[in-house]
Amino acid sequence: MSDSTALLAVFEDVEPATDAIEKLHEMGLGDEQINVISGIPVKGSILGRPSAITNVSRIGMAGAIMGFFFGLFLIYGTPYLYPLQVGGQPIFPIPMGWIVTFEMTMLGLMGFSFLGMFVDSGFPSYTPMQYIPEISQGKIALLFHCPDDQQKKFADALTKIGAESVEPAEARHL
């Protein structure tokens, strides 16, 4: 689509937006060409879209493994490097080692999951984003690209389904 126009269709509710996504699929647009803009999180399965693929669990698991080994290093590596005999106590304390290893594992899991959430969401984004004030009032918008010569056909089809407005997307001052 070398000559395409970005259209923004605004819907009052989720149901007509779901029907509009199905209609756009029938008209030849793929999921990668349709962007749903909503003020509230809406699951992809509700809209008939594929589930989002996330790497947060993998990143969190890598952090847990690193935390586990760091905990083992604190329990076994530090006394090995700096042995200190205290009143007949063992150099490598097993019961306290479980606690420290568990805490370091959980700290790694939580820290890397938090960072993974930002990495996976593309934060920070330096690309311009489309936004309309109606989204903050609970409406749902569909942003999609269509060929210039079929712009009227797409607008009429979405208006029949229940779109409040179908307009070319343009930058607005907030």
Mean pLDDT of all residues in 97-105 = 95
Question: pLDDT digits over 138-170, tens only?
Answer: 888 888 888 888 888 988 988 898 888 888 877
Q: How does the average pLDDT of the chain come out, rounded?
A: 85
Its pTM stands at: 0.61
Residue with tokens 């007509």: 16
- Name the residue ranges covered by the structural domains of the chain: 4-40+138-168, 56-121
How confident is the model at residue 96, as a pLDDT? 86
Say whether pLDDT at 56 is over 70. Answer: yes
Considering only 70-79, 106-115, 123-132, which range has the smallest mean pLDDT?
A: 123-132
Residue 29 pLDDT level (bands cut at 50, 70, 90): confident
CATH number for region 4-40+138-168: 3.30.70.120
